[in-house]
Amino acid sequence: MAVRRSATRGLFVVLAWVAGCQLVSGLPDELSLGTGGGGGGVEPAVCVRDEVPAAPAVQGAGGEEEFVVALRTISLEDNPDGALPGMNLDGLCSCAEDGPACRSLDSDSGGGTCDDGAGRDAGSNIVFGALGYLLQVADTSSSFSALAESGGWTLLLRVRGYSGTAEDDEVEVSWYESPGRAAPAWQGSDAWPVASDAVTPGQSDPYAAKYRDPVAYVTGGKLVALLPAASLRFAGGDMSMRLQLVDARLVARIEAIPGGRYRLREGKIGARIPVPEVFAALSSLRTMSGAPLCTDAPLYPATKNLTCRAVDLLLGEPDEDTPCEALSFGANFHTEPAALGPVLPLPEAPAGCASEVDPISDTCAEL
């Protein structure tokens, strides 16, 4: 039977038990289990695929407006009604109208993970559900949103060449990580530092972005950007985690607010994380106490098993006979107006794992 994402936490407990872990008692503080659960909904009879909107028919509508926004809230897990974050990345409605996009890496899974009723792919939902236990938080999305709210991290987006209209075929979108800032007011005047490795050095524009879409567009009042690669970092206090995304897609409704400013609402990000980058992300993880997740940690086997079972996409077109190559990533978000501040390096994370127990060298070859 295919894995239902809404059962993540219960499945994680089962896998941890099978792996011989002691649950709750006897675990190091940074790896003890939290609480929480998932939801489940009834899928509609017909799948209405949530895909990237097509470009507008208008041509040459670019303007002179520029604005910057900072991510304030993020949702990484399914809603109580079973709706997943993100969007349909492979064009399929797996488990509803279609088969899987690729062959599961777990021969016992019977087809991998299921999409929701709109075909949204967000295998990462399973992983973030399990990370709630590792981070000792009841809800990963609420925790990461609180860290952004307090200035620990954000995603900065700069939009240039915007006409201010609902249809615009000529805008540019730049994507930046931030080292974070102290006590943001979220009133539009916050200048957020820009991560130095998110910009291209030696350019006339000090904010020349490493990750950008020079041919983004607006259709039906929604901003659409497609980026071949992007990096996303969650952080706050001693906690941090960094994801390397490929084939990233961003869709968000542009909302004009008083003062001639804009913000993004009902934002969605969909992307793929290649399997080697999934383990690099686990290697980058630091818990709330700053501890790394090493392969000899009590809950690592269950984390790896659940993560590898969630890998659900190819890096190219779907082929159910080809082993899956990437984990689908999905997130929903809201932003507020902001400004770009100084270009600064990202802070160093607390010490990681010794090389022989570092997840970065692991694979999904053995489950």
User: Can you give the pLDDT at residue 8?
Assistant: 56
- pLDDT for 326: 98
pLDDT band at 359 (very low <50, low <70, confident <90, very high): very high
Degrees to nearest 5, angle at CA 207 with 204 and 209: 105
* pLDDT at residue 88 is higher than 70: yes
Q: What is the mean pLDDT of the chain?
A: 89
Which of 5 and 207 is assigned the larger pLDDT?
207
Are 173 and 158 in contact by the 8 Å Cβ rule? The answer is yes
Residue type, 76: L
- For 56, 250, 272, 340, the CA distances from 330, given in Å and listed in that order, are 24, 10, 9, 26
Report the distance separating Cα 110 and Cα 3, nearest Å: 8
Q: Between β-strands 239-257 and 222-236, what pairing exists: parallel, antiparallel or unpaired?
A: antiparallel
pLDDT for position 241: 98
Q: Tell me if 285 sits within 8 A of 18, measured CB to CB.
A: no
* DSSP sequence for 199-248: B-TT-SSTT-BSEEEEEEEEETTEEEEEEEEEEEEEEETTEEEEEEEEEE
pLDDT at 34: 29
pLDDT in tens, 143-165: 999 999 999 999 999 999 999 99
CA distances from 191 to 161, 180, 259 (A): 21, 10, 17
Length of the chain: 367
More confident residue, 60 or 19: 60
Query: Which residue shows structure tokens 């954000």?
Result: 154
pLDDT tens track for 337-349: 999 999 999 999 9
Question: What was the pLDDT predicted at 32?
Answer: 30
Residue 263 pLDDT more than 90?
Answer: yes
Residue 109's pLDDT is 61
d(Cα 157, Cα 155) in Å, to the nearest integer? 7
Residue 107 confidence class, pLDDT cut points 50, 70, 90: confident
The per-residue pLDDT for 151 is 98
- Selected residue with higher pLDDT from 9 and 276: 276
Evaluate whether 21 touches 299 at the Cβ level (below 8 Å): yes
> What is the pLDDT at residue 42?
46
**Residue-wise pLDDT tens digits, 220-246:** 999 999 999 999 999 999 999 999 999
How many CB atoms are closer than 10 A to CB 15? 19
Q: What gap in Å lies between CA 16 and CA 208, rounded to an integer?
A: 45
User: What is residue 16's predicted lDDT score, i.e. its pLDDT?
Assistant: 54
Residue 339 near residue 329, CB atoms below 8 Å: no
Is residue 285 within 8 A of residue 278, CB to CB? The reply is no
Which of the four pLDDT bands, split at 50, 70 and 90, describes residue 334?
very high
Distance, CA of 177 to CA of 155 (rounded, Å): 5
pLDDT bracket for residue 280 (50, 70, 90): very high
